[in-house]
A and B are shown apart, each in its own frame.
Chain A
Amino acid sequence: MADPLDYLRGFAVTFKKLFEDRVTGDYRGGKAKEGAPDNKRPKPERFHGRHVLNRYEDGMEKCIGCELCAGVCPAKCIYVRGADNDPDDPTSPGERFGYVYEINYLRCIHCDLCVEACPTQAITESKLFEFSFTNRNDAIYTKNELVVDDDGMPQKMPWEDWREGDDQLTSGWMRATSSAGDHRYEGSVHWAGELGYGVRAPEVGQSAGTISTDGGNSPAEVRSENDG
């Protein structure tokens, strides 16, 4: 027969937690009544939220319809089809552009592998994670909804709860080192400029042991520079 004290010992954790500070906050998902607190915890710099499809500074789309994101996606939530660019009115630089681009957010697990796979840094993730849908079609985001607007900012759907900073620097986590992952290239810029932000300065301290000495910035510094 078990020791009756085990029963009380089991509750020890419960009783202890009763008198600690709560980790949950006053969060009402943007639906708070006037004056009621609606706080969110700050999100990490590289939070994996809703995707955006970036554009170059001249407004051309970065996506070339190569389907590498769709190929790597473990949830098979991305559907891409490429097509020939009209030489007189190209959608993206080069021969091919993403003709169809769809992400099914009922399946997406926000693993970010698509972002890793993208050869043109076309797809990155914003920090928005609060979006719920009342029907399937809303959950399948098409290219029209994913491509950033003319200011380089994510488009905001009515059912999405964007907070301050969620839409900023959606590609701000961008690789610190070369796209080949070689830390020797840390500090040298290996990504293209983008609409609304220009060429992003490199970040520092993201590869083991080496700190760039040639003017690299921390993510926070990057943000403040862009805000200023």
Chain B
Amino acid sequence: MTDTQDAVSTVAVTVNGAEIQANPGELLIDACERTGTYIPRFCYHPRMSPVGMCRMCLVEVDTGRGPALQPSCMLPVTDGMTVDTESELTRKAQDGVLEFLLANHPLDCPVCDKGGECPLQDQTMAFGPGESRFIEEKRHYEKPIAISDTVYLDRERCILCDRCTRFADEVAGDTLIHFMDRGNNTQVNTFPDEPFASYFSGNTVQICPVGALTAKPYRFKARPWDLEENLSTAWTDSVGSRITVQSSRNKVLRVLGVDSESVNWGWLSDKERFAFEALNSVNRITQPMARADSGSDLASTGWAAAMSTIVDVLTDVDPARIGVIGGARLTNEAQYAWAKLAKGILGTDNVDAQLGDGLPAAVVLGLPRATIADACRPGGTIILAGPDPKEDLGALFLRLRHAVVNDGATLIELTPHRTGLSGIAAHSLHPRPGELGDLAAAVVAAGSGTASDAAGVAADAIAAAAASISGPVTVVLGRASLAESSAAIVDAATALNGLADVSFLSALRRGNVHGALDAGLAPGLLPGRTTLADGGEAFAEAWGSVPESTGLDTAGMLAAAAAGDIDVLVLLGADPLSDFPEAAAAEAGLAGAATVIAIDTLPNASLVAHADLVLPAAAATEVDGTFTNLEGRVSVCEQKVTPCGTARSDWMIAAQIAQRLGKDLGIESPAAARAELAALSAVHGDLTEAALAAAGVEGVLCSGNGSIAEPAGSGSVDPANDAYSLRLVATRRMYDAGTTLSHSPSSAGLARSIELRLNPADFDKLGVEAGSVVQLISNKGELMTPVIADPGVPAGSAAIPANSPGANANQLIDASQPVTDVRVERS
């Protein structure tokens, strides 16, 4: 053989007379599209396995045995293949397939939400026969049936392409819809009495090539030609999924996933997809509000009056008596503006974007960092020491699931109980709450030969898990349970950092929380992943001054406020009453602060009960800026609609406060804030306008640890075991009583009420029955809850959801303790 290398690396295929170079193993349909020849298709989707259901991609292929029609989505390229996508035979096949698909497809395009952007319409126009010979009655089914709270199915329109069912089965793993019946009666449907209750159901609407699946929030709201769209980034969790925000008449009507190779692959969780409804809520805060005295209600006021009040309360205040809680909702630019306002101008270091429900900044920023792609490397190992990604970080869940199922990654779970990934995990180890550090240390030790029991997990299980670790290791690290302090996770992280070739992917859930940490919205931190000690000098020069000593975190601020040591507490899109792990501490802190200023988009519990002054903030679709995801990837959020009412961007509010205080924040636009951040920060140097524009959907990865050192162990000791109590595990669910969801009409009903899950073995010991209502009592409070048996919860743990409608777990949790013990009593 003379030509070795080239012949192996590419395959020569002749398409319509022109030779193209295809990659070996590439499907013919992909190779043609990549080189500019579009082959029509309905069932083929590049992110799912080909099935050849629709026959639309039939083309005339000659592989040496004479030309024949073959489905190009099922056909890998071979050397010397000759393809004709425009031959008489191909055209006849396309005509025939379309006429056949339209035999039963109703022509109700004018009332169909897909009409105008419908692949079946488009391809009938481009490749179809023009007239149908069918005059027979079409197939009839009941018009749209709601297969879940957000998705409608119109079976008459379905062309049986298998996309939605493949998505549910292959990608999401929720096999809740499938084909039923046969022949002409074949239809997609759910199992009887079992809705398509998937967190990812919205994706099926997006990939449906006809209008068979439509989404309730968009149903009949607009036609495609009304819509204008912007590339943006999803704001409801920290995955940073790329989306396109579509609006008509200055109202956001739909969010669709955009295929970003590095982040979400086009998929979205339903929360990311449908949470825009909250931004159109009639409850949006549209103008500043003030409370005349503590007993009265909030009353509307003007911006000028509100700003005067702010100036009054901020003038001549000891900086240590000012606190800023929250900021994860903001864009990077607004976060930088607020960091500069708080730390540079007001001079306080009492700033924390996390509400005591996250991890110390040193753990998030100081360990070797992984990207999602790193975590999903074929042959690698994923150690999940954090929340259930299916509940918290939907798009990340789909990527991890694909890595494990399709790419042979090994998944080891170190979680308080079963998660959405347990079914595909190689090993699921469930430590006793508060003892994750011990378990992680035991796994690392077992890797070097000495396995022992730890945290209630048997030595042989630990040894087996340790033995399965191979290849590069990625630890998905986050706060699984609000009822445990972060100390055990810090210990686990430091222990797992001892593994070879290990890196960490943060699983903090809240919106732009990673951007907030990068912007320095944490005690002791400055923008660009640096600390007061390391970067203080440089920033003092740039900003005029920086705080002298490390301030308080959210727990510290709330305690100080309760003790009367905080005069001004700013809630920057924060709701401590709902989100701080201990409700009583949040209540005392908010009640104790002399003035509470809330800057938010929607009313939340803390704002309604305690805010003395409320400023309306522009929401995610109403501002320009960037967003940092859990990898540190910065991607653009573009303004799509004008802010609601008199709401203003958060950076603008910061700049105005500074101006009214007689100082100049030096920020006049989001771009200016971004440029200043890039100039001052050690890790944002690559974040130029040109780089952002060039990166497109992929975003700019700002990697590195800056000057944050690796965290040391927490030094905490394992909490003593009380044989009479259960240990509380409070985990997040995708649908909870959060502010955004409760203002989204389509999703609000999906939040389930509280339920206590116990290991079946614990029922006898406690003397309660599954299904009964019990009382859950801690030293902080009590809750009434139904109890169910769940073998996925280890014995000795009591699992409840964190923020259920009507019953928030934070009424039980003692945030000052490593774990919260609860008693279960019959009511």
Contact = CB atoms under 8 A, between A and B. Distances in A.
Interface string A55-89: 00000000011111011000000000111100000
B479 to A, nearest CB: 42
B295 interface: no
B108 A94 contact: yes
A119 interface: yes
Interface stretch (B181-189, B219-227, B337-345): B219-227
Contacts of B219: 84
A95 B110 contact: no
A68 B116 CA distance: 10
A96 B220 contact: yes
Contacts of B131: 180
B144 A64 contact: no
B115 interface: yes
B220 A65 contact: yes
Nearest to B130: A180
Contact of A71 (B108, B109, B223): B223
Interface in A23-78: 64-68, 70-71
A118 B131 CA distance: 20
Contacts of A70: 226
Contacts of A84: 219-220
B225 A82 contact: no
Interface string B476-510: 00000000000000000000000000000000000
A104 B111 CA distance: 24
A96 B111 contact: yes
A120 interface: yes
Nearest to B108: A94
A67 B109 CA distance: 11
B220 A119 contact: no
Given A84-B220, A96-B220, A66 B110 contact: yes
B143 interface: yes
A67 B223 contact: yes
Interface string B110-133: 110001100000000000000100
Given A66-B111, A95-B111, A71 B225 contact: yes
A70 B222 CA distance: 11
Contact of B110 (A81, A83, A120, A180): A120
A64 B112 CA distance: 11
Contacts of B108: 94
A64 B223 contact: no
B144 A95 contact: yes
A167 to B, nearest CB: 27
A94 B154 CA distance: 13
Contacts of B222: 67, 81
Nearest to A119: B110
A95 B223 contact: no
Given A82-B220, A84-B219, A84-B220, A67 B226 contact: yes
A68 B108 CA distance: 13
Nearest to B224: A71
A66 B144 contact: no
Contacts of A180: 131
Interface residues of B, number: 16
A68 B220 contact: no
A67 B144 CA distance: 21
Contact of B111 (A71, A81, A94): A94
Nearest to B219: A84
B300 to A, nearest CB: 28
Contacts of A71: 116, 223, 225-226
Contacts of A120: 110
B115 A66 contact: yes
B34 to A, nearest CB: 33
Interface residues of A, number: 17
B144 A68 contact: no
B225 A64 contact: no
Contacts of B110: 64, 66, 68, 119-120
B115 A95 contact: no
A108 B226 CA distance: 19
A71 B225 CA distance: 7
Contacts of B115: 66
A108 B93 CA distance: 45
B57 to A, nearest CB: 28
Interface in A175-197: 180
B111 A64 contact: yes
Contacts of A95: 111, 143-144, 220
Interface in B773-815: none
Nearest to A180: B131
Contacts of B144: 95
Interface in B177-236: 219-223, 225-226
A106 to B, nearest CB: 19
A64 B222 CA distance: 13
A66 B143 contact: no
Nearest to A182: B131
A64 B131 CA distance: 25
A96 B143 CA distance: 12
Contacts of B225: 67, 71
Nearest to A120: B110
B144 to A, nearest CB: 7
B111 A83 contact: no
Interface in B115-174: 115-116, 131, 143-144
A95 B108 CA distance: 10
Nearest to A65: B220
Contacts of A68: 110
Contacts of A82: 111, 220-221
A119 B109 CA distance: 10
A72 to B, nearest CB: 10
A120 B111 CA distance: 11
A197 to B, nearest CB: 23
A180 B221 CA distance: 28
Nearest to B226: A67
Contacts of B109: 119
A223 to B, nearest CB: 30
B213 to A, nearest CB: 15
B141 to A, nearest CB: 13
Nearest to A117: B110
A67 B131 CA distance: 24
Contacts of A83: 220
B210 to A, nearest CB: 15
Contacts of B111: 64-66, 82, 94-96
Contacts of B223: 66-67, 71
A217 to B, nearest CB: 26
A82 B226 CA distance: 12
Contacts of B116: 71
B129 to A, nearest CB: 13
A204 B742 CA distance: 61
23 contacts: A65-B111, A65-B220, A66-B110, A66-B111, A66-B115, A66-B223, A67-B222, A67-B225, A68-B110, A70-B226, A71-B223, A81-B221, A82-B111, A82-B220, A82-B221, A84-B220, A94-B108, A94-B111, A95-B143, A95-B144, A95-B220, A96-B111, A180-B131
Q: Which 3 A-B pairs have the closest CB atoms?
A: A66-B110, A82-B220, A96-B111
Interface of A: 64-68, 70-71, 81-84, 94-96, 119-120, 180
Given A66-B223, A70-B226, A82-B221, 9 more contacts: A65-B220, A66-B111, A67-B222, A67-B223, A71-B116, A81-B221, A83-B220, A95-B111, A95-B144
